Chain A
Amino acid sequence: MTTLAETSKPSPVEPAEELRVERIVKTYPGVQALKGVSFAVAKGTIHGLAGQNGAGKSTLIKILSGAQEPNEGQIYLGGRAVRFRAPPEAQSAGIQTIHQELSLVPQLSVAENVFLGQVPLKPVTGIVDWPLMQRGAREALARIGFDLDVRKPVGSYSVAEQQAVELAKALRKKARVILLDEPTSTLPPPDVKRLFQVLKGLAAQGETMIYITHRIEELFELCATVSVLRDGRNAATIETATSKPNDVVSAMIGKELKGSIADIALSGGRAPRLGPGARGKVLMEVASLAEDGKVKETSFKLYEGEVLGITGLVGSGQSELVSLLAGARKRTRGAVTFDGKPVNFSSPRDAIRLGIGLMPQDRKAHGFVPGMSVADNMSIASLPMFTRFSIVNDAKISQTASAMARKLEMRIFGVSQTMRTLSGGTQQKCILARWLIRSARLLICDEPTRGVDVGAKEEMYKLIGDFAKSGGTVIIASSEISEAVFCDRVLVMSRRQVVAELNHDEIDGHGAAIISHFG
């Protein structure tokens, strides 16, 4: 590990250096997002970029992709100083960005997407040259080992295949440097493996890439060098060959993490339980519950006080199953009893009445009202509690919300701050607070740490654990094995069906016992 002082020393420009970023400063009104970030990427390598939310990664991506201009600093591409005022300038210079949210038009064909904005026309007539376009798209895809029907709409392909289309689109243009912003956040493990092969293959062909991710183990698999950002500065530059994943995490959060949950997860030791464990009384019993086309018949018991994990590859039905339990979807068959009484939820409202709270998977789309304040988002599920004669008591809401924000250590100006300005982790805490205010008995978390950075992840696990310790029951639906290993009991799902049930003691730190049931 080298420190900032060493990396910012002027070094001789090596001929193989493809991209060099020097002392980039970016100031927004009231915020200095980047305070002099520097790094260099050698040609034909994959350079890792790590950092918590707010560390400046997104700003750096925006600057490299031309979406924003830096206030100070210089970017060198292939040794030449460059300056981008708009994304097309960055693209024509050869910096192609693959954003976390893919920028494809689902209704258009693969070929049209690969050539988006640069559709080839036949000479004289000026009509679209379809054969050329399709051949070009096929070739670009073949280069990364994909063979898709380029005439079919992009929307009909899986996320992994769509990503391949995006990559092909970048490769077809002149690509000196490809920026990959969390490309694996929505990919199931087998596809991740394939993507890594593709990226390594491209590096071997001489392509230069910058890889941004929250998943430390990916950096160690792909990158030789990782630049870690913290608070808008270079926190460290780490050579993966001579370092441990913990070094990256420590540099990211700025402190040692010995004994933390993340430390245990990274080192592969036996994971601790999040909560105190089941108390023996059945809280919920599910018998042959099914939703046609989404979840096959499932039966299990949920005990009071336990943290039950439901895991599987992305799309194995765990998300749909927990949505059924929370009343967010409607069952086709089966029976559910809660507290010994049969229940049939026709809406989330019915489930909430019994004390079941859902933290939805797609936080942005389903979790909160972006334009409303933190206080309003926290109190939205318990409005009657704050209402007398249909008048809302704002003072009481604000008081309760402030207390909750302190308790959950939310980093906000105040509870009147609008929700959309918060980081993913803070937003997630606010949704948790919503159910704590409601005094929920059962918390259903669907991918509770998706899009949340390492430090916030740790806090979220602790908060979920606290909820269980204070007497609550938790269900965690997750495609992250590193999350399932903390649960008291784990149901493994495959192809929309529960295929195994494992107790905490049967699960090793790496979750191999869980993975063996995928397929």
Chain B
Amino acid sequence: MSDRSGAKTSGSEGGLFGIIGRVLPQTYLLLVLLAIIVVGHFVTPNFLTVRNFGNVVAFSSIIAILAVGQFYVILTGGIDLSVGATLALSTVVVALSLRTGMDAGFATIITLLACGFVGLLNSLLVVWVRIPPFIATLAMMSMVQGFSYIIQSSSLIEIDNQTFVVWFSDGRLFGLANPVLIFVVVTAIAAFTSRFSSFGRRLYAIGGNREAARLSGLPVARDLVITYTLSGVLAGLAGLLAAAQLLQGSSLVGRGNELDAIAAVVVGGASLAGGNGNPVNSVIGVFVLATIINIMNLVGISSEPQLVIKGAVIIIAVFLSSAGGVGRISATVSGLLGGSTRPNSDAA
């Protein structure tokens, strides 16, 4: 059909708009974070200080690690509600292990294995027993909470192993606090994996259309098992940071953290239907929420209004990103400019 061949020649234009379209939702999130920081600076002088910055990052690193694991699960179209409970389990297991006089390295490995096992159970429930992820991980959350409480057997277990505390809380490397370093490394690996690895590509396909992925020969079951297990391991890692910060193991920590992680992922532009988003944006989502809460703390807003504002922020952020707010606004703008953002063939 010669009459349509003109469509091909305009490829460069489509490519340019394509790039803008892809970059815009991501940069907007950074702009939002920057705007919040600027507002914070004007609202309270205590905000832009090294000390406060350290506080925000230390507080955020735990949720950021959870959010990275959660992102991968959400990318596949699933959800993991058990990560908060797994985080608590992690603190209890590591505290108990250290109490027996175990070496810090050993205790760390055992803890991560235990938490990975929780993730593995989640994946088996989802893949093999075929229970929807929401239900499977909700049930797992309850079981893990109960199990942590049972093995804990006392109100809390103190941690006095200095090696462990240095590793996961007090130590510094290359001028960075260890928790920050850990979460930066985790985020970097996740970002690289999602963008460049075959595993990442497969997860986008599975989340985008699971049946098409299966019919294309992707190892869907295996990849889901890896994803949920990874989420468990990362929750365990987050738990190690929490245990080292709190100097204790307790089945009560981490309550509600799964929701913070999910909120961050969604604020970061990922859709709960799966198939889009990226881990860096999820981490930025964590910082957006954490910074706002930090500012409200500094200003002296009490915790109840904070909850209201946090909820509003989530709604606005999701409107702008995954609900297509940015897309709608930029479509209007490019419509006014008369730019071409869609192919002219077959669009009707």
Contact = CB atoms under 8 A, between A and B. Distances in A.
A387 B197 CA distance: 8
B196 A391 contact: yes
A59 to B, nearest CB: 4
A353 B200 CA distance: 21
Contact of B348 (A58, A348, A368): A58
A372 interface: yes
A28 B1 CA distance: 23
A367 B209 CA distance: 9
A56 B346 contact: no
Interface string A354-373: 00001010000111111110
A417 B343 contact: yes
B257 interface: no
Contact of A413 (B15, B199, B201, B348): B15
Interface in A419-450: 421-423, 426, 434
Contact of A328 (B215, B276, B335, B347): B215
Contacts of B15: 413-414, 416
Interface in B1-30: 1, 3-5, 7-8, 10-11, 14-15, 18
Contact of A423 (B199, B201, B217, B346): B346
Interface residues of B, number: 47
A292 B14 CA distance: 50
A412 B343 contact: yes
B212 A414 contact: no
Nearest to A351: B217
B245 interface: no
A54 B215 contact: no
Contact of A369 (B1, B3, B208): B208
Interface residues of A, number: 58
Nearest to A406: B8
A13 interface: no
B205 interface: yes
Contacts of B343: 31, 412-413, 417, 421-422
A413 B10 contact: yes
Contacts of A381: 216-218
B345 A423 contact: yes
B216 A411 contact: no
B214 A348 contact: yes
A32 B347 CA distance: 10
Contacts of A426: 346
A380 B216 contact: yes
Interface in B183-222: 196-202, 204-205, 208-209, 211-219
Contacts of A55: 348
A484 B160 CA distance: 77
Interface in B319-343: 331, 334-335, 338-343
Interface in A30-55: 30-34, 53-55
A29 B340 contact: yes
A500 interface: no
A55 to B, nearest CB: 7
Given A30-B339, A369-B208, A348 B215 contact: yes
A368 B212 contact: yes
B342 A349 contact: no
A352 interface: yes
A254 interface: yes
Contact of A417 (B14, B196, B331, B338): B14
Contact of B216 (A53, A59, A348, A417): A348
Interface of B: 1, 3-5, 7-8, 10-11, 14-15, 18, 196-202, 204-205, 208-209, 211-219, 275-276, 331, 334-335, 338-348
13 contacts: A28-B348, A29-B334, A30-B341, A58-B348, A328-B214, A328-B215, A349-B219, A369-B208, A391-B197, A391-B198, A411-B345, A411-B346, A426-B346
